[in-house]
Amino acid sequence: MGSHSTEAIRGVALVGHTGSGKTLLAEALLHQAKAIPAMGTIERGTTCCDFDVLEKEYQHSLRAAVVHFETDGTRIHLVDTPGAPDFLGQSIGSLAAVDTAAVVINAQTGIELITTRMMHWAESLKLCRMIVVNRIDGEAVDLPALVERIQEAFGKECLPINLPAEGGARVVDCFFNPSGDSDFSSVEQAHSALVDQVVEVDEALMAVYLEKGEISPEELHAPFEEALREGHLIPICFTSAKTGAGVKELLDILVKLAPNPSEGNPRAFLRGEGSDAEEFHAAPDPAQHVIGHVFKVAVDPFMGKLSYFKVHQGTVTKDSQLFIGDGRKPFKVAHLFMVKGKDLVEVPEGVPGDICAVAKVDEIQFDSVLHDSHDEDHIHLRPLEFPDPIFGLAIETTKRGDEQRLWDVLDKLSAEDPCIEVERVKSTNETVVKGLGELHLRTLLERMSSQYKLDVKTHPPRIAYRETITAPAEGHNRHKKQTGGAGQFGEVYLRIQPLARGAGFEFVDEVKGGAIPGQFIPAVEKGVHQVLESGAIAGYPMQDIRVTVYDGKSHPVDSKEIAFVSAGRKAFLEAVGKARPIVLEPIVNISVTVPESAMGDITGDLSSKRGQITGTQSQSGGMLTISGHVPLSELSTYQSRLKSVTGGAGSYSIAFSHYEPVPPNVQQQLVGQFHAPASED
């Protein structure tokens, strides 16, 4: 592979709803560029990008795949991303590695949930965007209507750059050589709409255009790039990955019009930490220090850890010594690769715009910055916004002794996916894995068993209930034990009162005249804490309580720590029993985005789940976001419920809001299930 200048590199991510044909389109582009001898198919599991065993089985992309190829003296790095909502972590992560987001739309199903979300994500990252309407060979597709809907949803700056002809068997170019007939609006009209839009970014050119009435494609190049950069133009092109219609033209557009890394908007980095951090942009200059950003890590069964990074600045070679983030010790690259699906091709260097990989460097993490000078310590990519992992499963090993391995494997798997979180929940004593949906976690479990041979069982996580009191009360206990020689003696009087929700716990010592000697006060507090942690009525931690110890008695010989711990615990338990204790449950803020037509069903359903609606907001593309709060315990099957109500078009996110008392029947049930631990004295 020859070396390339940055100007001859393109970085493009294929993003969009599942089933729009991104993976097959990548295959068609590779074939068109003669990078593969024949096209594979999704059905036979022979594509370059869906190479993983599970991807072949599911016939869907589950991870981002990178391929590179050369055509017309240009090197194209293409990232094929998963479109299923459960696997968006890697898709969003991939946006950091490219200059162009090609949002692929299925001509038959039109604008879908992930189409809209990807258009917005790409816009917020200031990527140049283009829309590829794929599957135009399908039956009964109404492309003129689809173009109208695209313009309604994403603006008039979405303009066809080519148009389907002969019933979708081929496409005609509307930019370079606008001539011939298309299946719908006139090619000339499409051409002038494009030129009108492009010249709007350049007043001088606009004047020339108005005077001469025509402008050459060469003169349009710079303003075209500017229009793309500013989001003033979003070209629409048409393809069939299956028949090959429009594929050559798409490749041409990528070579001739997609921005090279110095023409796109550079990704924003931050130097420094917290609010002092300063934003800066890497310079796509091969002569400067290296700045690379890791947008994907994967554990390959043969190669070990593979880290994929985009070179944003400088030149990486096999001799480069690179630092990882703020780490002091550099690693030597030794083998530098470019990626083609599952194959790695060793290359001598990577320049700005290249996507490269290094193997077996365990310290590299997703989102690490690689650089070759301590001047570049403390820099990070401006954080990307990922959807919150809200679907949790408690997970445990089936074999005793496997616990540490479970943690190691979870560590590895969560490192590959920014939308997997692993949490040790102390209050429920569970290891909870959280992801974006049921399918997301199912594939994680399958990898655990196939790749790591670890057997686990799962169940829905317990809800983190809390206990508190609603009235002030007093408690007293005298602990007295005489066993043979030395005895145990301690006596405690205390008061408890409820605090504001969320205030936590306060312990006040008001003992006068040494009725309880100072050294035993911590023992009393310890006894109280034992109850706070294990709960008094239903087995959940207690909160929002003030405990004031105000009197007691001690014995010069028999008073011991253990006696005051016990007396403190029992006095507190007695007081709680009189203080009208209740169980609290977590309430979450929820926002549900659904097609407008589903609004009634969704609000009705949330109300039946003890939820409260606080607002609704219209979104583009006929979608609506409904906000409110609802008890977390009511949402255990919400994902599948939402899927069935909206046919898969709905999505939701939740975030903890506050605690509220559970209804009396739930309290009764929780208290009934609780077996208080037997007291040991």
Ligand X SMILES: Nc1nc2c(ncn2[C@@H]2O[C@H](COP(=O)(O)OP(=O)(O)OP(=O)(O)O)[C@@H](O)[C@H]2O)c(=O)[nH]1
Name the site residues for ligand X (rule: CB under 6 A): 18-24, 42, 60-61, 82-84, 134-135, 137-138, 240-242
Near Mg ion by CB under 5 A: residue from 6, 23, 116, 320: 23
If the CB atoms of residues 23 and 488 are measured against Mg ion, the closer one turns out to be: 23
Minimum distance, C-beta of residue 19 to ligand X, in the bound complex (Å): 5
Minimum distance, C-beta of residue 415 to ligand X, in the bound complex (Å): 22
The stretch near Mg ion (CB under 5 A) out of 20-28, 211-219, 333-341, 520-528 is 20-28
Composition of the chain by helix, strand, coil, percent to 5: 30, 30, 35
If the CB atoms of residues 250 and 351 are measured against ligand X, the closer one turns out to be: 250
If the CB atoms of residues 17 and 466 are measured against Mg ion, the closer one turns out to be: 17
Q: What is the CA radius of gyration of the chain?
A: 31
Minimum distance, C-beta of residue 434 to ligand X, in the bound complex (Å): 22
What is d(CA 13, CA 79) in angstroms, rounded to the nearest whole number? 5
If the CB atoms of residues 21 and 621 are measured against ligand X, the closer one turns out to be: 21
The stretch near Mg ion (CB under 5 A) out of 59-67, 138-146, 587-595, 618-626 is 59-67
CB contact set of 29 (below 8 Å; sequence gap of 6+)? 69, 76, 78, 247, 250, 251, 254
If the CB atoms of residues 22 and 466 are measured against Mg ion, the closer one turns out to be: 22
Q: Count residues binding Mg ion (CB under 5 A).
A: 3
Do the Cβ atoms of 617 and 579 come closer than 8 Å? no
Minimum distance, C-beta of residue 146 to ligand X, in the bound complex (Å): 14
Do the Cβ atoms of 498 and 491 come closer than 8 Å? no
Neighbours of 155 (CB within 10 A): 14
If the CB atoms of residues 228 and 254 are measured against ligand X, the closer one turns out to be: 254
Q: Is 212 exposed, middle or buried (0-12, 13-18, 19+ CB in 10 A)?
A: exposed
Minimum distance, C-beta of residue 535 to ligand X, in the bound complex (Å): 45
Partner touching 240 among Mg ion, ligand X, none, CB below 5 to 8 Å by kind? ligand X
Angle at 124 between CA 262 and CA 621, to 5 degrees: 125
The stretch near Mg ion (CB under 5 A) out of 4-12, 56-64, 242-250, 279-287 is 56-64
Partner touching 220 among Mg ion, ligand X, none, CB below 5 to 8 Å by kind? none
Of 11, 16, 51, the residue nearest 241 (C-alpha): 16
If the CB atoms of residues 42 and 324 are measured against ligand X, the closer one turns out to be: 42
For position 320 contacting Mg ion by CB under 5 A, the verdict is no
Angle at 122 between CA 117 and CA 124, to 5 degrees: 95
Partner touching 18 among Mg ion, ligand X, none, CB below 5 to 8 Å by kind? ligand X
Partner touching 91 among Mg ion, ligand X, none, CB below 5 to 8 Å by kind? none
What is d(CA 355, CA 342) in angstroms, rounded to the nearest whole number? 14
Do the Cβ atoms of 365 and 326 come closer than 8 Å? no
Of 539, 511, 513, the residue nearest 525 (C-alpha): 511
For position 61 contacting Mg ion by CB under 5 A, the verdict is yes
Partner touching 52 among Mg ion, ligand X, none, CB below 5 to 8 Å by kind? none
If the CB atoms of residues 245 and 579 are measured against ligand X, the closer one turns out to be: 245
Partner touching 135 among Mg ion, ligand X, none, CB below 5 to 8 Å by kind? ligand X
Minimum distance, C-beta of residue 499 to ligand X, in the bound complex (Å): 50
Partner touching 129 among Mg ion, ligand X, none, CB below 5 to 8 Å by kind? none
Partner touching 241 among ligand X, Mg ion, none, CB below 5 to 8 Å by kind? ligand X
Minimum distance, C-beta of residue 91 to ligand X, in the bound complex (Å): 8
The stretch near Mg ion (CB under 5 A) out of 23-31, 224-232, 347-355, 619-627 is 23-31
What is d(CA 56, CA 79) in angstroms, rounded to the nearest whole number? 18
Minimum distance, C-beta of residue 101 to Mg ion, in the bound complex (Å): 15
Minimum distance, C-beta of residue 397 to ligand X, in the bound complex (Å): 31
If the CB atoms of residues 90 and 162 are measured against Mg ion, the closer one turns out to be: 90
Of 469, 439, 354, 458, the residue nearest 398 (C-alpha): 458
Sign of CA dihedral 349, 355, 358, 359: negative
Packed helices 203-212 and 217-229: angle between N→C axes, nearest 10 degrees: 140
Minimum distance, C-beta of residue 32 to ligand X, in the bound complex (Å): 13
Long-range contacts of 603-608 (CB under 8 A, 24+ apart): 605/641, 605/645, 606/630
What is d(CA 557, CA 481) in angstroms, rounded to the nearest whole number? 13
For position 106 contacting Mg ion by CB under 5 A, the verdict is no
What is d(CA 547, CA 542) in angstroms, rounded to the nearest whole number? 12
DSSP-derived secondary structure for 67-102: EEEEETTEEEEEEE---SGGGHHHHHHHHTT-SEEE
Minimum distance, C-beta of residue 410 to ligand X, in the bound complex (Å): 25
Of 472, 349, 466, 404, the residue nearest 2 (C-alpha): 349
Minimum distance, C-beta of residue 247 to ligand X, in the bound complex (Å): 9
Q: Scanning residues 554 to 613, which ones bind Mg ion (CB under 5 A)?
A: none
Binding site for Mg ion (CB under 5 A): 22-23, 61
